[in-house]
Chains A and B, each alone.
Chain A
Amino acid sequence: MTDWLHHLLILPVLLPLAVAAVLIPIDERDRTLKGAIGFASTLIVFIVTMILMRLAAAGEGSPPGAGVYQLGNWPAPFGIVLVLDRLSALMLCLASGLALAAQVYSMARWHTAGHHFHSLFQLLVAGLNGAFLTGDLFNLFVFFEMMLAASYGLLLHGSGPLRVKAGLHYVAINLAASSLFLIGVSLIYGATGTLNMAHLAAKLATLAPESRRLVETGAAVLGVAFLVKAGMWPLSFWLPTAYAAATPPVAAVFAILTKVGIYVILRLHMLVFGTAAGASAGFGQDWLLTGGMLTISFGTIGVLASQAMGRLAAYSVLVSSGTLLAAIGLGRPEMLAGALLYLVSSTLTIAAFFLLIELVERGRDAGADVLAVTMEAYGDFDEDEEEEEVGVAIPGTIAILGLCFCLCAVLLSGLPPLSGFIAKFALLRGLFDLPAANQASAISTADWTYVALLILSGLAAMIAMNRVGIRTFWASIEGTIPRVVVIEITPVAVLLGACVFLSLQAGPAMRYMQATADDLLAPLVHSERVLSAPRAGGQ
């Protein structure tokens, strides 16, 4: 790897940070200029992350130290490092792709709803990328806070009593979670004397039992902080309100915010409590499994009970989180690749759905949904209204929106042929893919419960989407047709197109996910790679 390529690793953090600062003094009236600069920055970050993903995928043949960026040129346990591996590259790519789509969408009208939208957006991108790249626990806290601070601003973007109320709860719960984060990090430091994740993984097996207890306590406290972010059941009551209240482009990027929590849990779980952890291996798995399953159930009930589409999407976020958490909790190495594919597919779908909702609802009354559901409940249909026409011409806009909506429904419920199905299938196949020696007996009750929940949650998504879709696209032609600009529908189409592409290229995608899973299952190789990386410019 040449010097130039090596420094590419820091660009996804530095560039948005610099651009955010540059955008602040530009007058709010020059929105096009601000938008253009922001868009250029996000686009460059997206291209860079694509290059990084290619580099990470190239993997084995690269020289030692590739993908490890030592900040300040201090070697690993002493200095802070940024680490690029397949998992972080995947998350980077996903995050910046979503950010790009959301930003293009926002430039149609939403960035005019308040001040400094593009600066906050760039800060969010920088924080996200930093959180995915860093190999240091405390540095993770800093990037996490950066991301959260930007997300507070973005959630409040557009103002209004509803957003402020949701924002107040969101800020309060995240500040409390940050306290837990700090307690967890400092407990781990106090017990092991290191904050570097790779070093921690290498050190844990050799710890004395009493220190190990402290590390486990620290990890549990830390885990709660991330589970709040990921929206595990008892910690997730803030999520639907906040996500439904956010402006659409913001809600779309928020879809990846829950995945940050999942990412960190997956990373720490596999690295620190993975196969090399000795007595601590698999710590907390039962909690993740139970919590994940409860989250799926809660999310499913929420999906069925939602009257407004925004809340439906927000509960879908919970279902997606729960599915992933339970998959991690089951602790089957064979399921990891499927879980990663599910992560990508569901995040793209939910983001597209959040963007789509506002376009669909634009031409409708705010209270129409609530009214429709109430009428359904009381069976009060206006049946005496005679339809004279044989067929109703469907306007072009509605047709396109309807098509996107159908794709969302198919992806959310996991029906074939799209990637939602492939991902769920891969998950289930991993679950049943047992070594020949212990057939049948090894599939436990927990496994069957998971299978049932996974399929039921898909069914619930199907029912809810059907109901909403029929009400929106078939029943209300007489309503005003929403005016949709090209740059609003394009991001939705591109995100859904990415899912279609993922379905078509499922083979290569699964190979990449499998390689990522194999990386995760070899934590000591990872630590060795980080700790033995040479300093730049020779010793």
Chain B
Amino acid sequence: MELILSAGIGALAASGIYLLLRPRTYQVVIGLSLLSYAVNLFIFSMGRLRVNAPPVLEPGGVGDLLRYTDPVPQALVLTAIVIGFAMTALFLVVLLVSRGFTGTDHVDGREPPRGD
């Protein structure tokens, strides 16, 4: 499981960074989204990977704490997801405004000269 998760985070982060460095604004948005997925999974994994372990206390007493998984990273992930989502939405708006002003979806607002 550790291998699959780390490979997944790596693949997401690598594609995210690749797309982030591309010249089209839409690619940048997707790149940022992928990067934030990778980061969210990474935060999640920092609470250690556990299967079948609840993050909230079960009814009827605390019992053995070893049966639970760490709830803090899950709370952090939730916050990070919400903030990341909002920021991506905001970025999309800026992207559209830029497209409206310049008529191109290049990140610098103008097409590079042809034939490069």
Contact = CB atoms under 8 A, between A and B. Distances in A.
A176 B46 contact: no
Nearest to B17: A176
A164 B87 contact: no
A190 B32 CA distance: 24
B6 interface: no
Interface residues of B, number: 36
Contacts of B98: 161, 164-165, 168
A145 B101 contact: no
Interface string B17-29: 0001000010010
Contact of B90 (A171, A186, A189, A190): A171
Contacts, number: 91
A189 B95 contact: no
Nearest to A170: B94
Contacts of B48: 190
Question: Binding site of B, secondary structure by majority: helix, strand, loop or mixed?
Answer: helix
Given A138-B79, A165-B109, A171-B90, A176 B35 contact: yes
Contact of B39 (A142, A169, A179): A179
A182 B43 contact: yes
A164 B97 contact: yes
Contact of A172 (B36, B80, B83, B91): B91
Contacts of B88: 175
Nearest to B72: A189
Nearest to A160: B101
Contacts of A169: 107
Nearest to A195: B72
A160 B72 CA distance: 43
A161 B109 contact: yes
Contact of A186 (B20, B28, B35, B73): B73
B76 A138 contact: yes
B76 A175 contact: no
Given A168-B98, A175-B88, 16 more contacts: A138-B79, A142-B83, A149-B87, A149-B90, A164-B97, A165-B102, A165-B109, A167-B94, A168-B94, A172-B28, A176-B20, A176-B32, A182-B39, A182-B42, A186-B43, A186-B46
